[in-house]
Structure 1
Amino acid sequence: MSLNFDKALGVHPYALQLRAERAQIIAGNLANVETPGYLARDVDYQQILADVARRVEQGQSGSDLGAGLNQALASPAYRVPYQTAADGNTAELGVEQAKFGNNAMDFQTSLTFLNLKISGLAKAIEGR
């Protein structure tokens, strides 16, 4: 009997990849907080992950899921600022720092879930 890793690991590998990509986007926002005219970007994590979860339940393969995830990450949306800046920059230091911190915690949570899934599979394979 073969093991289907997409079914065994579920959405967790894709959540981890999405969190890593989102960290890069937010880091870019943080790096450009003082750049005049810079437009802050972000991805809708909940929507993308819900789409990936739906595809996993439908039994789509890993390459199809990865391609769909990459397509969703290729065009992040621009974020509307809470406070408009005179120079047209929409990246706000406090907001970006908070989003980066939340994303880092969520990344660690996704990594913990993935580690638990993998250790459970290893125990099942070893017969423990």
Structure 2
Amino acid sequence: MNISRAHELMKSAMDYRAARQDMIAGNIANADTPHYRPRDIRFEEVLEQKSASLFADKSQTLQMSQTNGAHLSASEGTSSAKPTTFFRDGHMARNDGNSVDLDVETSEMAKNSTMFNALTAAMKKDSAIFKSVIDASSKTS
């Protein structure tokens, strides 16, 4: 059961934030591994597309015309976009070829944790609003 359209978006964002936290932790764990390159995950574009599809006004959608019955019908805008992982380069590699910068990794981890905590608080607030509506409706009947 979806509490709201935003709830689904926040759930996806939390999943991606958790995956990013694991990836950053892996980078820190491999700080002494020779020739290791730090990895990261980019998911903001995927969330923007999901947000646009969730909050789009369906009544304002232009329907595709089908001029011949043999033509394929339009698909329902399902996106196959997935978060992308990439190597976070740009930092000077040490003599052993490792380019993990602990200062960068710890600051990225702190930023990611802050965003995860903000999403958690937003989900709690969203759920509390839904619960209060249910509680109020049960008192009136």
Under TM normalisation by the shorter chain, which class is it?
0.7 to 0.9
RMSD value over aligned CA atoms? 2.5
Other structure's SS at 1:76 match: strand
Percent of aligned positions that are identical: 24
Structure 2 counterpart of 1:76, from 47, 63, 85: 85
Match of 2:133 in 1: 124
In the TM superposition, 1:1-128 aligns within 5 A as 4-5=2-3, 7=5, 9-58=7-56, 71-72=82-83, 75-127=84-136
Gaps of 5+ in 2: 58-77
Deviations 1:27-68 (A, max 9, x none): 000000111111111012422322332232359xxxx78xx6
* Residue pair 2:2, 2:8 contacting (<8 A) in 1 also: no
Instruction: Report the 3-state secondary structure (helix = DSSP H, G, I; strand = E; otherwise coil) of the residue aligned with 1:88.
Output: coil
How many angstroms apart in 2 are the aligned matches of 1:8 and 1:39? 35
One-letter amino acid matched to 1:31: A
Give distance in 2, aligned partners of 1:38 and 1:111.
32
- Compute the TM-score of the two structures, normalised by the length of structure 1: 0.77
SS at 1:99's partner residue?
helix
Cα drift, residue 5 of structure 1: 3.6
Instruction: Give 1:6 deviation, angstroms.
Output: 5.2
Higher helix share: 1
> The residue matched to 2:35 in structure 1 has which SS?
coil
SS of corresponding position for 2:15: helix
Change (3 A) 1:127 1:6: closer
Unaligned runs of 5+ in 1: none
SS of structure 2 residue aligned to 1:48: helix
- State the shift of 1:124 in Å: 1.0
Structure number with greater Rg is 2
